[in-house]
Structure 1
Amino acid sequence: MASTSGGVLRRSLGLIDGAALIVGITIGSGIFASPGRVVEQVGSVGMALAVWVVGGLLSLAGALCYAELGAALPVAGGEYAYLSRTLGRPLGFMFTWTQFFVMKTGSQAIISIVFASYLGSVLFGLDPRGAGVDGDWRIKAIAVATILLLTAVNCLGVRQGAVVQVVFTALKLLALAGIIAMGFAAFFQGGSSHFVDPFAGSIAAPSAFGLAMITCLWAYDGWNNLNYVSEELREPERNLPRAIVFGTLGVMAVYVLANVAYLSALTPAQMAGSRAVATNLAVQVIGPIGGVLVPIAVAISTFGSTNGSLITGARVFYAAARDGQFPRFFGYVSPRAVPAAALVAQGAWASMLVLPGDFGTLVDYFGFAAWLFYALAVVGLMILRAQAPDLPRPYKVRPYPLVPLVFLAASGFLIVNSLLTTPQSWFALGFMGLGLGVYFLFFRVPRVAVPTTSQP
């Protein structure tokens, strides 16, 4: 049985839709704000650019591994499906449990609040990064309305959600192109002097580079999301690897160019003291109007990120429910071939998470958990190579096993560093362990068969 309704997902997404999901989810608000923090942590122009390049290469290594997994197992659910297949259903359930109650829905709540805050800066004159702005009832109302609106749009059909994604991805790329153009104009008007001695003032401690990497990787997060909808992608054996690789490379190129632009218009000291570098650049180059245009650009960017996250997250919960590994009603597929129950439940819970003013702090506790699941999925890739050598693999990550091992080494460093330096990470680990208890109490025996294909 494919779902409680008897319906199935349809392969209606193409290469452009897939790339738009990767780019649209990954590029949120991070690139507009976090470059200043990276400069502050490493101290120089050269080291800051090195962080963004290394972060992009690490994300690309993970993306290549996920491209092989998605092409070999073109089913909905991403890590849920891969962990269940290679490391066992308990880990697959733990991933779904954590995604629904904190990670995915919490991320949606936070992104929608960021969208509402920047829109509020235009509508109400609020400081989008000011203390307490996310507690303003108007901001919360906009955030909840955004989640509910996009949930309704995606319930109409996967094509409707994909159109929103493509349009807003194009708009955010256009906005970033404008920011990059302003920066390069500053570069040719004297900003090139900032690059004469690029490593002057560098903080040599490895821990500084590691902290900057964590900041950078937060901005890169999202490269894994296309795997959640691979069951709805046409020719996934070809389009999924291409969209993942092209999308990740595209994001990396935009991020590096944006940082060159920022560093051309602003000194390292100006960047290090700023949490809104894009606004600072725009105001310096084009005047006060830049203080209006950049918040609009951030609002456009985060609106698209919220939409993409809603699309992909619902497929995780649907896939688990279809296998009897989550409440069964999440497996309902509407006549429009969308997991409508999963979309509605996800939107409702994400809206609830908007209400507490400090929920973002709780989600921060789970930052290391994302990299734990990424690492486990890549371990699953290596297990699958050994367990099923004859499984058709339209795409293979190369050089193997170098790329997976490099990714695992970097992931291991980030995981261990978080557990050692962030005590709250242990809270997240405990919550994940609680999920295992729920699994063995209620979901140990699957209620439905695991499907292997979907309707073309």
Structure 2
Amino acid sequence: MSQEASSPGLRRSLSVTDVVLITVSGVTPASSIFVIAPFALQGAGSGAFLAFALAAALAVAFALCYAELGAAHPNAGGEYVIIERVFGRALSLQMYLLILCLLLFIPAVLATGAAPYLNSALGTRLDGAEVALAMIVLCFGIAVLDIKLNAWLTGSFLLLELAALALIAWLGFSEAQQPATVLWQPVKAAADGGPSAVSAATIFAMVGTAVFAYNGFGGAVYFAEDMRESGRPVARAVLAALSIVVLVELIPVTALILGAPSLAEMSRQADPINYVLSHLSSPTLARVISGGIFLSVFNAIIAIVVQSGRFLYSSGRDGLWPAPANRALQRIHPRFDTPWVATLALAIPSALLTFHSSLGDLASFTVIILMLNYLLLALAALRSRLGLHPHPYRMPGWPWPPLLAVVGSLALLWAVLRDAPARDWWIIGGIALTGLLLAGRKQPVAVLIVEEQKER
């Protein structure tokens, strides 16, 4: 039985624009390009453009699933509540644990990749783990504050971030060193150091990384209970967020590829984007851009922590945990009207993850979790219309978008898992086993309240 009545609830104060600002800030296009896109540039050279273009097509299919399901099942719990209402408790718990891992890993991935940009901006040699730890602590503290303040803060940072990306795009296009043909005839460094053609298999292997760079648009569903109106506005927020993200990521990636002095040299670099920028701009401008990138990562972590607070608040309200933990997670701050205990719950494990030695390992494991999440959501989008729940928003072209999402997520999941270390398989197995053990408990999770549906 839902424990919704024991919680005072979240303040319905956000507009669609507010939710889009927080959601896009959580995606943080700049940090996606500077922290995640380098893996695609190293792996596929100029084929990163095709990887990002294919990922955009898949992201549209994923976003349509989020939009329809988020409008039909508006709840701060987001994905795991949707899965419970469509498939039942067992799969809901698996989804819950997958999302919990994503919300735990992504801030650590972003914070770990931010230190080089702070050092570049300030001309310092600060320790990466210490910078990441400080970022995590500050971001969790800020996320407890009033949601409208966080919307304003993240929106302001987002404008600066978009300005930096626009500058990068202008530099790349205005000083292009490569012909446009390298976008559809990609090249990268060969074993002998010269340029070589990039295979379709190599490009496809980088699509998962590009999907990770776009990921976060679905976070709009976590604010369904903070919005003045639910239903179709949730769908609009998801689709608007994705449109902005694809636009402001794909254009700068294209500009960086065209502006590279040597595509072979770019793909060999440990930091391919700084390699390009160092040739396109002055040292002073490069430092300003690096500072902007660092602030964008900081902004992203705030937005993601705000989302994770809503997610954990919902799980406490729905009775997932033992009673004392449920009561704690439902606590609303008397001044800020935010779920402050739920917001701070992941602070310590996120901080500990910042001391992980390999950014690449963190990122690749996060892609695996992400693909499993998308797969379950796509299956739910196929199944949901067969249930009794109203669908105020219906995606165009159903069932083709969720079918594309299922095929795409399975293919990418297989591509990543083929090369995954045994450790990742053990962690995935542990998540599945934990979900099965939790499913054996008698305490219900995220029970559908028919009266709530009728009131909407």
SS class of match (1:162): helix
Deviation, 1:193, is: 3.3
Counterpart of 2:310 in structure 1 is 315
Root mean square deviation of aligned Cα: 2.8
Deviation, 1:116, is: 3.8
Is residue 194–residue 263 contact of structure 1 (8 Å, CA) maintained in 2?
no
State the Cα deviation string for residues 373-427 of structure 1 (Å, max 9, x = none): 2111221122110122xx3322111101011101110011112233333244422
Counterpart of 1:303 in structure 2 is 298
Counterpart of 2:349 in structure 1 is 349
SS class of match (1:231): coil
Counterpart of 1:265 in structure 2 is 259
Mapping 1:34-433, distance limit 5 Å: 34-42=36-44, 45=46, 47-100=47-100, 102-123=101-122, 125-126=124-125, 136=127, 139-187=128-176, 191=177, 193=179, 195=181, 198-199=184-185, 201=187, 203=197, 205-266=199-260, 267-326=262-321, 327-328=325-326, 329-335=328-334, 336-358=336-358, 361=361, 364-388=364-388, 391-424=389-422, 425-433=424-432
Equivalents in 2 of 1:448, 1:220: separation in Å? 28
Q: How many residues are paired up?
A: 437
Equivalents in 2 of 1:378, 1:161: separation in Å? 31
The change in CA–CA distance for 1:241 and 1:116 in structure 2 (over 3 A counts) is same
Equivalents in 2 of 1:196, 1:371: separation in Å? 29
The change in CA–CA distance for 1:412 and 1:198 in structure 2 (over 3 A counts) is closer
The change in CA–CA distance for 1:169 and 1:258 in structure 2 (over 3 A counts) is same
Equivalents in 2 of 1:61, 1:448: separation in Å? 26
Counterpart of 2:190 in structure 1 is none
The change in CA–CA distance for 1:357 and 1:38 in structure 2 (over 3 A counts) is closer
Equivalents in 2 of 1:359, 1:263: separation in Å? 23
Return the letter of the residue paired with 1:219.
A
Deviation, 1:141, is: 3.6
Deviation, 1:19, is: 1.6
Is residue 12 from structure 1 mapped to residue 7 from structure 2 by the alignment? no
Counterpart of 1:31 in structure 2 is 33
Equivalents in 2 of 1:450, 1:175: separation in Å? 44
Counterpart of 1:445 in structure 2 is 443
SS class of match (2:175): helix
The change in CA–CA distance for 1:273 and 1:166 in structure 2 (over 3 A counts) is same
Deviation, 1:248, is: 1.0
Counterpart of 2:434 in structure 1 is 435
Is residue 17–residue 237 contact of structure 2 (8 Å, CA) maintained in 1?
yes
SS class of match (2:129): helix
State the Cα deviation string for residues 130-163 of structure 1 (Å, max 9, x = none): xxx8xx3xx4343333223222222222112212
Deviation, 1:365, is: 2.9
Moved more, 157-166 or 86-95: 86-95
Amino-acid identity (%): 25
Return the letter of the residue paired with 1:334.
H
Is residue 18–residue 151 contact of structure 2 (8 Å, CA) maintained in 1?
yes
Is residue 13–residue 233 contact of structure 1 (8 Å, CA) maintained in 2?
yes
Deviation, 1:211, is: 1.2
Deviation, 1:275, is: 4.2
The change in CA–CA distance for 1:8 and 1:422 in structure 2 (over 3 A counts) is same
Equivalents in 1 of 2:367, 2:250: separation in Å? 23
In the superposition, the TM-score normalised over structure 2's length comes to 0.86
The change in CA–CA distance for 1:360 and 1:341 in structure 2 (over 3 A counts) is farther
In the superposition, the TM-score normalised over structure 1's length comes to 0.86
Q: Which runs of 5+ in 1 are unaligned?
A: 127-132
Deviation, 1:355, is: 3.8
Counterpart of 1:129 in structure 2 is none
Is residue 209–residue 367 contact of structure 2 (8 Å, CA) maintained in 1?
no
The change in CA–CA distance for 1:247 and 1:41 in structure 2 (over 3 A counts) is same
